[in-house]
Amino acid sequence: MQEKALIIRKLAANAGDKNILRGIDITVDAGETHVIMGPNGSGKSTLAQVISGNPAYPITTGNMEFNGKDLADLLPNERAKLGVFLSFQYPLEISGVNVASFLRLIYNKRKRESLSPIKFRELLEEKMKIIDMKGDFSERYLNEGFSGGEKKKMEILQMLVLEPELAILDEVDSGLDIDALKSVANGVNYLRRKNPSTAFIIITHYARILQYVKPNHVHIMKDGRIVKSGGFEIAQKLEETGYKEFGREVDSKN
């Protein structure tokens, strides 16, 4: 029997006084890659924020378990220590903090180590090569003056350094040219090979990243619900028909 990484049951959540998620049921086994697609405003990014523990999105009903622990009882930093990682659509710029120092800090927190700057530099350079990042990138201030593609690569670099148990990638492919998209996919596929138990939730509008990262399951979200679940063929159909072909009835496979 395959180990469960994330189990979500009947999850509903608000943003302010507005109900966004309206009963989400999803199970992500260890080592699986799930893709969530849907139109703007369907609740995809809200789901990512709720899993990571953003207090701006309170849970109203339902529950979430990660590796047997109730996530609702844990603060965002506690979830991160457990191995829950979220890449942001719009990462913050932090002036005065260079990339290498920031990544070494979060690596030592995650691994409960005290890796020296020299040793960490070796590790970091290895990870940067995977996603085709130049060596001087690590000396720049965090996201300051980064292009859109560089910010996305920075999120993937964090993921590679932390090696999470659950990686949630929120529109990490948006706005990327083909070379940057391939670099992002290389990072995901590298971690899938290195840590076969790592689970992924990839949130996207488009199927093009799925040419390079093959999912186990694809889910369509509309109006705060998962209305269809299946395999890669769903994403292919979506490219042909758009979201109008997917109604509000929950598919029996979900």
Q: Give the pairing type, strands 84-87 and 18-29.
A: unpaired
Q: Which residue range(s) make up the domain with 31? A: 4-91+163-245
Helix (H, G, I), strand (E, B) or coil at 158: helix
Q: Which two tokens stand for residue 52?
A: 């990571």
Confidence of residue 244 (pLDDT cuts 50, 70, 90): confident
Q: What is the pLDDT of residue 249?
A: 45
Residue 188 lies in a domain: yes
Cα–Cα distance for residue pair 151/37, rounded to 1 Å: 22
Q: Is the pLDDT of residue 105 over 80?
A: yes
Classify residue 147: in a domain, yes or no. Answer: no
Give a yes or no: residue 63 inside a domain. Answer: yes
pTM of the model as a whole: 0.92
Confirm whether 140 is domain-assigned.
no
Instruction: Please give the distance of CA 168 from its chain centroid, rounded to a whole number.
Output: 2
Q: What one-character-per-residue DSSP string does 53-118 give?
A: T-TTS-EEEEEEEETTEEGGGS-HHHHHHHTEEEE-SSPPPEEEEEHHHHHHHHHHHHHT----HH
Give per-residue pLDDT as tens, 160-202.
999 999 999 999 998 899 999 999 999 999 999 999 999 999 9
Q: What backbone phi and psi angles, to 5 degrees, belong to 182?
A: -65, -40
Residue 191 is predicted with a pLDDT of 97
Task: For residue 104, give every residue at least 6 positions away whose Cβ sits within 8 Å of its Cβ, in sequence order, or none.
Answer: 115, 117, 120, 124
CATH code: domain of residue 190: 3.40.50.300
The answer to whether position 153 is within a domain reads no
As a whole number, the mean pLDDT across the chain is 91
In a domain, 232, yes or no: yes
Q: Which residue has the tokens 């530099």?
A: 121
| Residue found by looking up tokens 């090979």 in the block | 193
Q: Is residue 36 part of a domain?
A: yes
128 inside domain: no
Count CB neighbours of 150 within 10 A. 16
Domain count, the chain: 1
By the 8 A CB rule, do 251 and 228 touch?
yes
Structure confidence by residue, pLDDT tens digits, 121-140: 999 999 999 999 988 899 99
First to last CA, the chain: 18
